[in-house]
Structure 1
Amino acid sequence: MSWDYIFTVLPPMLKGAQTTILMFLAVIVLSVPLGFGVTLLMRSRVKPLAWLAHTYVYVMRGTPLLLQVLFFCFGLPLLPVIGEYLVFDRFISAAIAFVLNYAAYFAEIFRGGLLSIDKGQQEAAQVLGLSKWQTMTKVIVPQMIRVVLPTTANEAITLVKDTALLYAVAVPELLYFAQTAVNRDMRLVPFFLAAIVYLLMTLVLTIAFKALEKRYSFK
Structure 2
Amino acid sequence: MEMLNFGAILQGKYLDWLLSGAAMTLGLFAASLVVGFALSLVLLALRESGVRVFAAFTRFVVAYHRNVPSLVQVFLWYFGVPQLLPGSWQTWINAHHSEFILVWVALSLNAAAYMSEDLRSGLRSLPHTQLEAARAIGMTYLQSMRIVLVPQALRAALPPLVNQSLTLFKTTSLAMAVGLAEITYASRQIENESFRTFEAFAIASAFYWLCSFALASAGHLWSERLNRMDRRT
Instruction: Using structure 1 for the length normalisation, give the TM-score.
Output: 0.91
> How far is the alpha carbon of 1:2 from its aligned partner?
2.9
Alignment-derived partner of residue 113 in structure 1: 122
CA distance in 2, matches of 1:65, 1:126: 39
Match of 2:145 among 114, 118, 136: 136
Alpha-carbon distance change, 123 to 48 in structure 1, aligned in 2, over 3 angstroms: closer
1:165 and 2:174 matched: yes
Match of 1:190 among 177, 182, 200: 200
Alignment-derived partner of residue 82 in structure 2: 77
Match of 1:57 among 58, 62, 76: 62
CA distance in 1, matches of 2:56, 2:42: 14
> How far is the alpha carbon of 1:62 from its aligned partner?
1.4
CA distance in 2, matches of 1:19, 1:92: 12
User: Conserved in 2, the CA contact under 8 Å of 1:38 and 1:107?
Assistant: yes
Q: 2:29 is aligned with what amino acid? A: F
1:33 and 2:38 matched: yes
1:200 and 2:210 matched: yes
Alignment-derived partner of residue 7 in structure 1: 10
CA distance in 1, matches of 2:178, 2:191: 18
Structure 2 unaligned regions, length at least 5: none
CA distance in 1, matches of 2:70, 2:89: 19
Secondary structure at 1:71 match in 2: helix
1:175 and 2:184 matched: yes
Moved more, 131-140 or 206-215: 131-140
CA distance in 2, matches of 1:91, 1:107: 24
Match of 1:22 among 2, 23, 27: 27
User: Conserved in 1, the CA contact under 8 Å of 2:5 and 2:199?
Assistant: no
Q: 1:45 is aligned with what amino acid? A: G
CA distance in 2, matches of 1:43, 1:126: 14
CA distance in 1, matches of 2:19, 2:111: 25
Q: 1:119 is aligned with what amino acid? A: H
Instruction: Using structure 2 for the length normalisation, give the TM-score.
Output: 0.85
CA distance in 1, matches of 2:200, 2:8: 10
Q: 1:159 is aligned with what amino acid? A: L
Aligned length: 216
Secondary structure at 2:49 match in 1: coil
1:173-199 alpha-carbon deviations (Å, 9 max, x no partner): 000010111122222101000011111
CA distance in 1, matches of 2:87, 2:106: 18
> How far is the alpha carbon of 1:3 from its aligned partner?
4.8
Alpha-carbon distance change, 5 to 138 in structure 1, aligned in 2, over 3 angstroms: same
User: Conserved in 2, the CA contact under 8 Å of 1:61 and 1:104?
Assistant: yes
Structure 1 vs Structure 2: percent identity of aligned residues? Answer: 32
Alpha-carbon distance change, 186 to 103 in structure 1, aligned in 2, over 3 angstroms: same
Secondary structure at 2:157 match in 1: helix
Secondary structure at 1:99 match in 2: helix
CA distance in 2, matches of 1:123, 1:47: 20
Alignment-derived partner of residue 95 in structure 1: 104
CA distance in 2, matches of 1:62, 1:40: 22
CA distance in 2, matches of 1:90, 1:124: 47
User: Conserved in 1, the CA contact under 8 Å of 2:9 and 2:190?
Assistant: no
Two-structure CA RMSD over aligned residues (Å): 1.8
Alpha-carbon distance change, 124 to 42 in structure 1, aligned in 2, over 3 angstroms: closer
Secondary structure at 1:98 match in 2: helix
Alpha-carbon distance change, 138 to 78 in structure 1, aligned in 2, over 3 angstroms: closer
